[in-house]
Amino acid sequence: MSLLWQVVVNGVLLGGLYALMALGLALVWGVLNIVNLAHGALIMLGAYVCYYLYSGLGVDPFAALPLAMLALFAFGYLLQRGVLNLVIRAPMFETLLITFGIDVVLTYLAQMAFSADYRTLNPSYAGDNFALLGATVPLVRLAVFAVALALTVALWLLLARSRIGRAIRATAQNLTAARLYGVEPRSIYALTFGLGAALAGAAGGLYGLVSQINPYIGTSLTAKSFAIAIIGGLDSPLGVIVGGLFLGIVESLTALYVGPTYADVASFGILVLVLIVRPTGILGRTA
């Protein structure tokens, strides 16, 4: 029983990071109707920003997160304005091709700039842990979970309580009505994509604290984010949290009882099941 409890705790902590990784993808998908296949590459870039701030300048990885978010927000904003805005009304297949191409380019440039070596963020407190009801909780993983949850709540508050958040939601729900109320869609689209990129940057920095990074991690992280966004529901930040936690626990239990090589099989098996039983996701709203 103690081993099972340990695995569940590990799954919950991992699921919090998964939720943050998927949140940016779900936001962009829900507002711009673009499945951003370069999302994982943005997470990878955020990880490298935090890594070089830590290794080169000695900035604590958690303190580096706001800088990574700012850098990725600016990059995402300009990317949407300069490239994606040109195909914003194109069929989804064309936007998939564009974002896939961006992913390939970013991965290749990262390989040239950073090499293919595996790297990790390893601060002095990386080995600290404490006991929780018989389970060992690594301090870094708990901090990663807390930051991921805080950023998710912050996004929910932004969307629910702020003027910008209401404009984003109005654009996603009814573009024509939003325009009648003075909302400028191009600015909202760029802002939304920038927010999604900023969340990806934060997720990348946190990912570097719990796993190794290299320029090729993006593809698997995009697939994971896609699965979580579908499972949780695109129109619900809370649903993305639930989807991330659920997937983290499922993967941990699968690794324990079946084998670590089957964790991804279980994740995408659940994705297929959710698409069959409830296509809108666990907490997504039906029409």
Cα–Cα distance for residue pair 222/172, rounded to 1 Å: 22
Both structure tokens of 53 = 């701030």
Amino acid at site 207: Y
DSSP 89: T
| DSSP alpha helix (H) spans, 134-184 | 139-161, 163-173, 175-180
Cα–Cα distance for residue pair 39/221, rounded to 1 Å: 8
Region for residue 59 given its phi and psi (left: phi exceeds 0; alpha: psi -120 to 50; beta: otherwise): beta
Whether residue 16 lies inside any domain: the answer is yes
Q: What pLDDT shows up at residue 287?
A: 38
| Parts of the chain with a pLDDT under 70 | 1, 180, 234-236, 278-287
Cα–Cα distance for residue pair 84/101, rounded to 1 Å: 12
Q: What pLDDT shows up at residue 7?
A: 78
Q: What is the pTM of this model?
A: 0.89
Whether residue 282 lies inside any domain: the answer is no
Q: What pLDDT shows up at residue 187?
A: 84
Cα–Cα distance for residue pair 231/249, rounded to 1 Å: 14
CATH code of the domain in which 22 resides: 1.10.3470
Residue 99: give the domain boundaries.
2-277
Whether residue 283 lies inside any domain: the answer is no
Whether residue 122 lies inside any domain: the answer is yes
Whether residue 240 lies inside any domain: the answer is yes
Cα–Cα distance for residue pair 47/202, rounded to 1 Å: 8
Which of 178, 129, 176, 188 is closest to 9 using CA atoms?
129
CB within 8 A of 262, min separation 6: which ones? 254, 255
Whether residue 286 lies inside any domain: the answer is no
Q: How many independent structural domains does the chain possess?
A: 1
Q: What pLDDT shows up at residue 281?
A: 62
Whether residue 287 lies inside any domain: the answer is no
Q: What pLDDT shows up at residue 104?
A: 93
Whether residue 285 lies inside any domain: the answer is no
